[in-house]
Amino acid sequence: MLEISPIFNAMMRHKSHALLLIIQIALTLAIVANAAFIIENRLTLMNRDSGLPEAQLFKFDVFSFGKDIDLNQQMELDETMLRAIPGVIDAVTINQIPISGSGDNTIFMDRDDTPNKNNNDKNLHSKSNTPAKHVHTGVYRGDTHTLNTLGVKLIAGRNFSEDEIIYGNETQPISVAIVSKAFITTMFPELKGLEQQGVGKLIYVFRIPIKIIGIVDKLQSSQVTSSHIEQTIILPKIQTRNFYRFLIRTAANQQQAVIDKVENLMLKLYPNRVIRTPRTLTYLRDNSYADDKMMTQLLMILIVILFLITALGIVGMAVFNVNRRRKQIGTRRALGASKGNIIRYFMIENWLITNLGIVLGIALSILLSQFLMQQFSLPKLDNSYIMATMIAIWLLGIMAVYFPAKKAAQISPAIATRSI
Partner 1 sequence: MLKMQQINKIYRTELVETHALREFNLSVNEGEFVTVTGPSGSGKTTFLNIAGLLEEISQGQYFLDGVNVVGLNDKERSRLRNEKIGFIFQSFNLIPDLNLFENVDVPLRYRGFNAKERKRRIEQALEQVGLAARMKHLPAQLSGGQQQRVAIARALAGEPKFLLADEPTGNLDSLMARQVMELLKNINKQGTTIVMVTHDAALARCGQRNIQIVDGQVCDFSLYDKNPQASAFENPQTAASTTTTAASIA
**Interface with partner 1 by CB under 8 A: which residues?**
1, 3, 6, 9-11, 13-14, 327-328, 331-341, 412-414, 416-420
Q: How far apart are CA 184 and CA 284, in angstroms?
A: 27
| Minimal distance, residue 344 CB to partner 1, in Å | 11
The 3-state DSSP composition of the chain as helix, strand, coil percent (nearest 5) reads: 55, 15, 30
| Minimal distance, residue 412 CB to partner 1, in Å | 7
19/363 with CB nearer partner 1: 19
| Minimal distance, residue 315 CB to partner 1, in Å | 21
| Minimal distance, residue 411 CB to partner 1, in Å | 11
137/321 with CB nearer partner 1: 321
Neighbour tally for 324: CB within 10 Å: 12
1/374 with CB nearer partner 1: 1
Residue type, 300: M
249/325 with CB nearer partner 1: 325
59/332 with CB nearer partner 1: 332
1/162 with CB nearer partner 1: 1
User: Minimal CA–CA distance to 250: which of 239, 258, 240?
Assistant: 258
Residue type, 341: N
3/286 with CB nearer partner 1: 3
Specify the 3-state DSSP secondary structure of 88: strand
User: Minimal CA–CA distance to 315: which of 339, 343, 360, 350?
Assistant: 350
List, in order, residues 6 or more apart from 238 with CB less than 8 Å away. Answer: 72, 75, 93, 141, 142, 143, 165, 166, 167, 168
Task: Report in angstroms the alpha-carbon separations of 386 from 34, 298, 311.
Answer: 8, 20, 18
| Minimal distance, residue 15 CB to partner 1, in Å | 11
53/413 with CB nearer partner 1: 413
What are the backbone dihedrals phi and psi of residue 245, each rounded to the nearest 5 degrees, phi first? -135, 155
**Relative orientation angle of helices 383-409 and 290-324, to the nearest 10 degrees:** 30
| Minimal distance, residue 311 CB to partner 1, in Å | 25
Specify the 3-state DSSP secondary structure of 358: helix
| Minimal distance, residue 12 CB to partner 1, in Å | 9
Judged on CB neighbours under 10 Å (0-12, 13-18, 19+), 378 is middle
| Minimal distance, residue 302 CB to partner 1, in Å | 36
Is the separation of the CB atoms in 81 and 289 below 8 Å? no
118/417 with CB nearer partner 1: 417
Neighbour tally for 249: CB within 10 Å: 23
Beta bridge partners of 141: 235
Cα atoms in the Cβ-side hemisphere of radius 13 Å centred on 412: 4
| Minimal distance, residue 350 CB to partner 1, in Å | 16
